[in-house]
Structure 1
């Protein structure tokens, strides 16, 4: 099995004689010692997230065999509960003592996006997509404006790092390829848009060139302005349901960071109150929380050639600002923060809300421009009833933004007063009878200016 792409684990075949004996093992329903199915057991225990394929067949139409297809470690060791393992002959042992093998694994990473497709030529690239790429390149590198106009397509594509010495790469086909040339990729290369609401459903599939297709997906998404009414005011704040730059940033991130070896579509789901973006893979370096503040810069990428080309034609940024930008723009529109889920189907799902969850959160952002991004992210966790660290809770309490006990944190009194929520706040917090009587009298007086509490 040395230097092969996949290994296979068979249930129902004798390990010594290779005789096919059959099995009753059911990977979907059989409980292991953990009480989990095999697929869930592997998904939760194995890192990085890799795509296991589990299937079954009938040997000679009679004997049932279950097979698990296991991809080889690539770019980093495959670990189970944070321990790397290796198979030596018939034994499983820790990989840690074998430093040469570890080094070989780290050096084994092949950039899928950099591979030249021998059958492809520049004629397989879409002229409109090339023109859009030229425009993006010019915006990225305005100092080269006098030179760019003199470059023919072949020179431009090499300069933009879409081709290599005239050879058409998978990156060039993904971003600029004609739809009829998609088969040259050996990949499904599609973006699937779905509309799923209580009353409507629709779907459309978009192929390459992705540089053009992402704008077509954007055009499918219904977007409109709606009003947020702060309490005690007749002047609403109008915001768009979705920010177009956030949508394109999310789509382009899916393209840049997709694990193409999994041969999966990018899936965009439009729901009543949010957008969901799914792509195969996981965060290649760190967690999404590391990038919210815009401080961390990734040191490596899953598809470095593709990423560099997308940077060159101004589809993405390479400094780790993409996630930061999405969070900032969502905060500036007073809406809930994006959410990432890395536990679903060996992929990453980004959810972008397009509605108000808690009016107090939105009004607070409208009325208090001093709230920074990190504080807004913490308040967003409060409105979504997500857990907070003790340090975060302490900071919010110090700023008089929250009260209550974990896990039932609520909006603090000072915040409630600024949003006209005194009665609801009092009901949720709970006070002594004496305090409640005093509060009722004060509220009565405050809503009846002609009366005075004596």
Structure 2
């Protein structure tokens, strides 16, 4: 097809009209739009399909666009490349392909079809004093990953979205094209990202309908849903010409055990522990923070997730600051001023600065020395270690 605009997905398809759309796909788009835009439901309820699709911006002056054909086109229409499809493959435990299917036509329907093919069992996870049931895969995450691949795909490279299901292990969604120069984890932290976009017309259509989330919220939800289910976090693999996201389908590993025992950990701590558990780089500063708070322990020089970790915010929440520091001393036998600052930070409800917390820690330790509760064993004032007396 001859390109009229820089963005191929915004081109008008002259040889197509409203009859080129799959009626089931149009109904699905209507249902999604009304669900995401309830205030507009009455306005669009009386519109015919052409008026509705023009209203939501997938047509141009009433004309069929490439984007609209990607989302709703019939499989029998031959106006788009035959490589535009979702290809699902099932690999057995030995990595051999045991089943495969390619779904052409409307990508809205193709995503739903492939999501329904994937085996999705229910598992039990600890929930307080009892148990709850969760699905191995969150359907919303799988569909969002496929829709993300469709909207960001580099269609000059063919247009096939590959979905690889490894039996009882994982699901991976592959798309063609590069990824912006940002880390997927940055979306979880809520950092604003400026991303260059290909297929801008298609992206606007899919976002306007409600098929995908805005500003990386979908990626954030990939991580949060895995945390909620106590599963390993998603894995991104990014090369110059492919982007892949893998959703682990097995509850295994030290991180999962930590989530079972301490489901209310901070998201940043969970992501740091995941980096440690998967052998990826973790800065010295973050590692020291995890160790100082008991989330990580060191065995023979090797840092490991500490399954017996107890959140200091609950362990040291009773009594005064003095009492909390005494509790830390009873557990460890000795402390540094930095250890005391960490405990005070957990207890702090006034938003004190690090400098203020440090002064407070020094005052508490000096009072303990006066009371005969601790003795300075080594180091200068800044690096001194204080041991419990008696």
Alignment TM-score, normalising by the size of structure 1: 0.63
How far does the alpha carbon of each residue in 1:353-407 deviate from its partner, in whole angstroms, 9 at most, with x for none?
A: 011231x422322332431211111111122122211122122112211123899
Task: Tell me, yes or no, if structure 1 residue 301 matches structure 2 residue 178.
Answer: no
* Residue 378 of structure 2: aligned partner: none
In 1, are the aligned partners of 2:161 and 2:174 still within 8 Å (CA)? yes
* Residue 444 of structure 1: aligned partner: none
* Residue 298 of structure 2: aligned partner: 404
Bigger shift: residues 109-118 or 250-259? 109-118
Residue number among 301, 311, 321 corresponding to 2:217 in the alignment? 321
* Residue 71 of structure 2: aligned partner: 175
In 2, are the aligned partners of 1:174 and 1:208 still within 8 Å (CA)? yes
CA distance in structure 2 between the partners assigned to 1:235 and 1:363 by the alignment: 16
Q: Check 1:300–1:142 CA distance in 2 against 1; reply closer, same or farther (3 A cut).
A: farther
* Residue 261 of structure 1: aligned partner: 156
* Residue 207 of structure 1: aligned partner: 104
Residue number among 91, 116, 121 corresponding to 1:196 in the alignment? 91
How far does the alpha carbon of each residue in 1:388-442 deviate from its partner, in whole angstroms, 9 at most, with x for none?
A: 111221221122111238994212374399xxxxxxxxxxxxxxxxxxxxxxxxx
Task: Tell me, yes or no, if structure 1 residue 219 matches structure 2 residue 113.
Answer: no
* Residue 40 of structure 2: aligned partner: 144
Q: Check 1:413–1:351 CA distance in 2 against 1; reply closer, same or farther (3 A cut).
A: closer
Task: Tell me, yes or no, if structure 1 residue 346 matches structure 2 residue 241.
Answer: yes
* Residue 241 of structure 1: aligned partner: 136
Q: Check 1:407–1:152 CA distance in 2 against 1; reply closer, same or farther (3 A cut).
A: farther
What is the deviation of 1:258? 0.6
What is the deviation of 1:109? 8.6
Q: Check 1:334–1:131 CA distance in 2 against 1; reply closer, same or farther (3 A cut).
A: same
CA distance in structure 2 between the partners assigned to 1:251 and 1:407 by the alignment: 42
In 2, are the aligned partners of 1:280 and 1:347 still within 8 Å (CA)? yes
CA RMSD, Structure 1 to Structure 2 (Å): 2.7
What secondary structure, in the 3-state scheme, does the structure 1 residue paired with 2:191 have?
coil
- State the number of aligned residues: 306
Residue number among 259, 263, 275 corresponding to 2:171 in the alignment? 275
Q: Check 1:161–1:325 CA distance in 2 against 1; reply closer, same or farther (3 A cut).
A: same
In 2, are the aligned partners of 1:187 and 1:260 still within 8 Å (CA)? no
Residue number among 275, 283, 297 corresponding to 1:389 in the alignment? 283
Unmatched segments (≥5 aa) in structure 2: 312-390
CA distance in structure 2 between the partners assigned to 1:350 and 1:264 by the alignment: 17
CA distance in structure 1 between the partners assigned to 2:216 and 2:43 by the alignment: 29
What secondary structure, in the 3-state scheme, does the structure 2 residue paired with 1:193 have?
strand
* Residue 131 of structure 1: aligned partner: 27
Task: Tell me, yes or no, if structure 1 residue 111 matches structure 2 residue 7.
Answer: yes
Unmatched segments (≥5 aa) in structure 1: 6-107, 418-454
